[in-house]
Structure 1
């Protein structure tokens, strides 16, 4: 009794009553339940709130204390579905929240949440009791918390999504991902699992996901010099990379940490010349931790790394534009491993950093965490589905649908850095049309303004004397659209800057620092605050008046991270963005590109409500898709390794819930050997572009861009060269596939479909695909296998289980579940079609609106029943949102060998009333070469009514 009285005095009567009664403390709400943890277990009382969003989505919020703060999310836009029911079931140990599809169980003492399916099988659980933590922090004088939430899953799980990253990693299990918006790195805090669940982490601050243990500096390993002395590596500096024997200085170094702008000026010897020199670190490494060690480099220039005599890394990136690189090596306890690191900086501002991660303990290999620097509460959504498409559908239910892009955006885009004059734009498009190279869009990159007028959004009349007329000619003469680059950037002192500054719409730290950019003499500049609603409107009004009114079709939103100054640390970025209109930059850091896109999307839809908005932006965030934002992978390098890394980058980005992704075909920054190529290097350049165009024709948006050499096919190779022929072939094939591709775009909106698909999405039962990140599905039928090595003429690939496969070109059949080696001649990339597919091909086109698809060839790939829904609408407006679209359901019955074309459903203005379907049946015994210009085996005139065709 004395003990109970002591507890009463120490903990208060409310808790005493809870303990005495033996029942958990909770309260029900109209949306779910709030559980209050046991402070004897958690250290202080915490509130854990569960809200039912739909039968398969539960929101979890947690705070220290008992008050859940009101929060208006920038990411989510959902409304609670009507008719959703749930039950709250208390027990002595737990509170259970049950919907028709999900059960969430909250441990009454720790607050840890576990998720189960309708059959009671565990899906995922929060780690308890220490899996959630709140560490007090203060930003801009306001209390916040560093937040950590850890989840535990079952063996065999795999994790994808999380945005776009350049380390070549596909399955993020056991990996670390940083959420910090940067050129080539896009933070999307949505994870999707091979076990058909997803987690949307609703936090905008600097975040680490996955294995969140801090990366270690080099000095925390055992280091030995090249003479065997303990404690350091031997660093040798030369000022002429061609004369490595002429060492200017040799010194002991135990750390390599020049990751951000300004670091190298402090760490490199004063006598060293980065533009021409080279540094070599030599010696040995050892670890008392046995197992797989990961080494993460950030570098500009050329970097080679040898471990135990083996070349592990040989990569290049333009000096001003550092890239990540990840290598793994298995150490045995205490074993010395020789190491050599050779770095050629190739620039004045130099970047090289090396950090490492120790082996992941066995007990943590099925854990995944989110650690965010700043927030008021833990806030995430658990999404479950019967497949990964349903999970992504849940993400879009929360964050908004992806509007259908204008049809022309699915055609080919030509771009370069940069068309400097109006004449260059017009003559380039004219050459495409003369050569009959299909194209729909040409892009006008930065600096169409006068040098000192960045942010004016005004054309330099000496180079663009009549932009209105230029756009009119592109539209009417060439049937080509114009996308134009707009930056959220303003030079100090121009009229637009003065107007935004007067209204308090600008970040001012860069101005106060007198930070100059890289143009001409260098100009002081800053960015507008996209978190300010009035600033967003002001920015739209500026570009509407100066640009959109001239007839521009789409927006290229560059540097939207915001890249106020490139290659700065997160701490520097936060200073540059402080204060934001909504709160501390620490809390809102990563959401800038979302708000920037929001302003233009809402502005254009208000100005011209029925013309589809289309944005291409270098950065995005969860929810960007609802603002018609497509993302590209930034200023990647023109190397084979960069090309290969785009496969995993694009697939994971797409699996993050945003369906429209693209890349600079050919790479943006170019190695010296390609800038002034000799005979051998120009052939490698041509082959690199050929292979990249082959790959690029099968991603959601087909787009070439980059620095010199020019990227137009006729500037890459003469028309009798294999490179030219191959690029033209895939451009034409893309347009022939337009009925297929536009139907996928329709599904992305109406059914929350994903166009570029990791193999795990369609072959979840085949564990062999969990780690295959260099192949992907383009829609339901096409297996894409890019070739990413110079002079490679064969390709090892895997054909997933559960289906047979056909070579697209020859029609040859292969069994599924096999690793095969296939021919990959210069002009062709291996492409396979899944058995049980219907692939529609339309007429040859020079641009998407040239003619309607009045004749469609249906290639039916036998081996299983098949179906395809042909989707059509008006192509450029939003009438589809009001139901103005049509679908034609096409089915193949394997047993009966019949194709059924069902009644057309729906209608829209200008709809084709009748068309011809040509039908070809491809079977394992009857291979057919791909020839879209021959008459089909069967032909039917379709007028909207059901037709059954016997094959």
Structure 2
């Protein structure tokens, strides 16, 4: 494209200075023209700005699907000097070079945060289903040793996302968010939904999107990782509260095939006295594949769905059911959507009307994806979901294939017309709009039940729709487990706090071979992998056991008194004991834009050793988690599956015998404790200085867990489900060595009254010098709140003191 210097002259133009530069000042920023490009800078907050660029002679108008914030008016100043226009806000300076069009971002103190490369904006003509538009690219210049994070849920095992190329098209196991943030305290959200290539190499760091009328991105300066996350949520939406019960343990598999089996799993957990709150009914409760996703219990194997829901509720558990973004031709939703032209024609899953592998394409299923970009289509989707399932009292949604499954990957598939243009243009935002349709419509029906959506794909802004994104159908391998840790941390750093994964991995067919006396759940290789994955999952926002080929219920692994069974049970109980800590952290996520899973760089950015540390993280503000991600008792089994091609039906029964596996033997792993804090061993209370690597003894029933000095952790009662007992007698564990604070949060646990201020907060403050714990006056109230309670305060040295708290401030000396 020809580059020429141009002077924009309009009626409202600010008078040019002696250097001959010119710009138009608007209420939200400036507009100008540099080298045949329109450039607009808009101010959205003290540290938040939008940059738009588009060729002269064309138009650029876009209603963002992800961004909900509006620009602020008259919250900036403009200064101009030779070859530069500087737009200044209270926390950021955006400097436009009027010679080459490049923009740099600095602090008000003139510290350079990041800059575009000179001539870094590129437009290539592109015809999108007959409409002339562009492929757009912007290249930035980063410092050589600058660590960056984000981009979504990536199965690449990387923490810092430097030095790579990633093609961003939503799929089963890679969820993409066109956003990254830097260790320097800034983030960039590239607001484009088409297939996008992210590249970081010696030539620069760039986003390159297949379709775009213009370059459109947001720069967020938050000073640190928490500030950037807060800025991203300010831009794209805040996180609603989930019900308390969703933080308990979930059991699932592919799939429970009858009503009796589903209810029977809950009964068995109750008999074994192992805690459980959620049970998931996977697909085909609707019948055959031609009735795919009818969103109705029409299979004869589920003769009385209302009774099933009633029975599960009677056992004090909750039911989630599988729903998809596609419909079979024999369903009511299909027929209505088809009449209105709201179904796509590309191949999706399942391809065959017969449930066999590989698919029998002589009997095509006729299943088609719906146009979730269409507001009327989203309403039709909800209408049938509400009539067929929600009206029965189902508690939550498992929105599978929300990317959606796109099997053929033919170039012409991207030409499919949607309500918002070509599928190509909006492809990566599909999970955002389909999840948003369910959330928005359920909120219209009732505020008495919080929306909870477990979904397989995510995009920027999806955190506002009550969704927890899981990492897809990953295989059952140690490599997959290792990948989940940085995948979840990077997703969190995009502003989406709710991540989880299939405990044990989804495709487990490789373990249906004999190893040391057993196959499947008795295969010692799978047992070790499953236990370590479950221990990791206990410190993620959702603890959910799921997979195919090998059942995962605790009783499949043995019985009480056996090492594997006991290890599983102990971590489920540990999870429940931490519910007051977890639920209060959930409130911090909603109220204060905090995060559950915290990459160590979030709290210890001054320690360069943690910048690329991918297998340790903080859970909440106080607990350091170092999951065991390598086998210690069995040889590592290398597993390879193609998650996008369908089931792994490996039923190879060849024996794999080895040495006898003894899960009672102690092992050890190395753990790094970050600088800037002292640390207590969660299991032994031994105190360690930060800034060192130590060797920690482990067992099959333990992983390295450490509590930061100054940490305050409330511990709840022993329960079988989340709301079985009130929190009227809590143990408050205090870890001296630094001042600390914690706010205990409670509400009615499963409605939206908290949005009206119906909740309580009890602030705790530890003064390390005086060795006193101040329990401040309770803030707020709700019907049924605990008026008087006991707090048993415990220090690592065994010192403890019990106090009665009635809502008034008390100071407890622990000297």
What is the TM-score when the length of structure 1 is the normalising length? 0.78
Secondary structure, in 3 states, of the residue corresponding to 2:713?
A: strand
1:526 to 358, 363, 368: 368
For 2:432 and 2:564, the matched residues in 1 are separated by 39
**Are the equivalent residues in 1 in contact too, given 2:239–2:465 (CA < 8 A)?**
yes
d(CA) in 2 for partners of 1:583, 1:509? 16
State the distance in 2 between where 1:610 and 1:680 align.
47
Q: Deviations over 1:372-420 (max 9, x none)?
A: 1111111111111132111100100011111111111111100000000
Instruction: Tell me, yes or no, if the aligned pair for 1:25 and 1:108 is still in contact at 8 Å.
Output: no
The counterpart of 1:379, out of the listed 216, 219, 238, is 216
Q: 2: CA distance between counterparts of 1:570 and 1:937?
A: 66
- 1:60-71 correspondence to structure 2 within 5 Å: 60-65=51-56, 69-71=60-62
Partner of 1:599: 437
| 3-state SS of paired residue (2:437) | helix
Tell me by how many angstroms 1:720 deviates: 2.0
> How many Å apart are 1:101 and its aligned residue?
0.7
> What is the match of residue 26 of structure 1?
23
The one of 742, 746, 761 aligned to 2:602: 761
How has the CA–CA distance of structure 1 residues 753 and 95 changed in structure 2, closer, same or farther, with 3 Å as cutoff?
same
Q: 1:518 to 1:99 in 2, by over 3 A?
A: farther
**CA offsets 1:179-217 (integer angstroms, 9 cap, x no match):** 111011101112111111111110000011132xxxxxx
Q: Which residue of 2 aligns with 1:36?
A: 33
- When residues 912 and 417 of structure 1 are mapped into structure 2, their CA distance, relative to the original with a 3 A threshold, is same
Deviation at 1:717, TM superposition (A): 2.4
Matched, 1:181 2:174: no
Relative distance call for 1:672 and 1:29 in structure 2 (3 A) is: same
Does residue 535 (structure 1) correspond to residue 525 (structure 2)? The answer is: no
Distance 1:10 1:481, change over 3 A: closer
Distance in 1 between residues matched to 2:17 and 2:271, nearest whole Å = 87
Q: Please say if residues 9 and 22 of structure 2, whose CA atoms lie closer than 8 Å, have aligned partners that are also in contact.
A: no
Residue 887 of structure 1 corresponds to which residue in structure 2? 761
Q: Which runs of 5+ in 1 are unaligned?
A: 1-8, 40-44, 212-359, 929-935
Identify the residue that residue 256 of structure 2 maps to in structure 1: 419
Quick one: structure 1 residues 13 and 395, their matched pair in 2 at CA, closer, same or farther if it must change by over 3 Å? closer
Aligned pair partner of 1:830 in 675, 699, 704: 704
- The equivalent residue for 1:101 is 91
Pairing of 1:484-499 with structure 2 (within 5 A) = 484-499=321-336
Alpha-carbon separation, structure 1, partners of 2:532 and 2:412: 39
1:828-882 CA-to-partner distances (Å, cap 9, x unmatched) read 1111111111111111111111121111111111111111111111111111111
Partner of 1:197: 186
1:290 aligns with none
* CA distance in structure 2 between the partners assigned to 1:19 and 1:902 by the alignment: 59
In the alignment, structure 1 residue 948 sits paired with structure 2 residue 811: yes
Secondary structure, counterpart of 1:374 in structure 2: coil
Q: Distance in 2 between matches of 1:882 and 1:661?
A: 27
* Equivalent residue for 2:474, pick from 629, 632, 636: 636
What do the CA deviations read for 1:113-141 (whole angstroms, capped 9, x no partner)?
1111121111111111x211111101111
Shift in Å, 1:689? 1.1
In the TM superposition, what are the counterparts of 1:422-437 in structure 2 within 5 Å? 422-437=259-274
Where does residue 816 of structure 1 map in the other structure?
690
Partner of 2:751: 877
Matches within 5 A, 1:357-396: 360-361=201-202, 364=203, 367-396=204-233
Distance change in 2, residues 1:817/1:20 (3 Å): closer
Structure 2: distance between partners of 1:108 and 1:408: 56
3-state secondary structure, aligned to 2:531: helix
Aligned counterparts of 1:389 and 1:132: Cα–Cα separation in 2: 29
| Deviation of the 1:12 alpha carbon | 8.8
What is aligned with 1:569? 409
Q: What is the CA-CA distance between 1:937 and the residue it aligns to?
A: 0.9
Name the structure 2 match of 1:688: 529
Q: Which residue of 1 aligns with 2:612?
A: 771
- Alignment match of 1:938 (pick from 786, 801, 814): 801
Question: Deviations along 1:292-350, whole A, 9 cap, x unmatched?
Answer: xxxxxxxxxxxxxxxxxxxxxxxxxxxxxxxxxxxxxxxxxxxxxxxxxxxxxxxxxxx
Equivalent in the alignment of 1:332? none
Provide the C-alpha distance between the structure 2 equivalents of 1:36 and 1:167, rounded to a whole number of angstroms. Answer: 40
- Runs of 5+ consecutive residues of structure 2 not aligned to the other structure: 357-362, 634-666
Distance in 1 between residues matched to 2:468 and 2:7, nearest whole Å: 55
Aligned equivalents of 1:780, 1:572: Cα separation in 2: 48
State the Cα distance separating 1:812 from its structure 2 match: 0.6
How far has the Cα of 1:913 moved from its partner? 1.1
Could you tell me whether the CA contact under 8 Å between 1:804 and 1:813 is conserved in 2?
yes
Residue pair 2:312, 2:318 contacting (<8 A) in 1 also: yes
CA contact (8 A) 2:672 2:692 kept: yes
Q: Residue deviations 1:732-759, cap 9 Å, x none?
A: 1111111100011101111111110100
CA distance in 2, matches of 1:527, 1:646: 28
Q: Which residue of 1 aligns with 2:645?
A: none
Q: Does 1:148 align with 2:137?
A: yes
The 8 Å contact of residues 556 and 616 in structure 1, kept in 2 or not, is answered as yes
Is 1:35–1:106's contact at 8 Å kept on the other side of the alignment? no
How far did residue 430 of structure 1 move? 0.3
CA-to-partner distance for each residue in 1:776-797, whole Å, 9 max, x for gaps?
A: 1101111111112222621112
State how 1:829-908 maps to structure 2 within 5 Å.
Answer: 829-908=703-782
Q: 1:600 to 1:548 in 2, by over 3 A?
A: same
Matches within 5 A, 1:315-326: none
Look at both structures and tell me which one has the larger radius of gyration over its CA atoms: 1
Tell me what 1:293 maps to. Answer: none
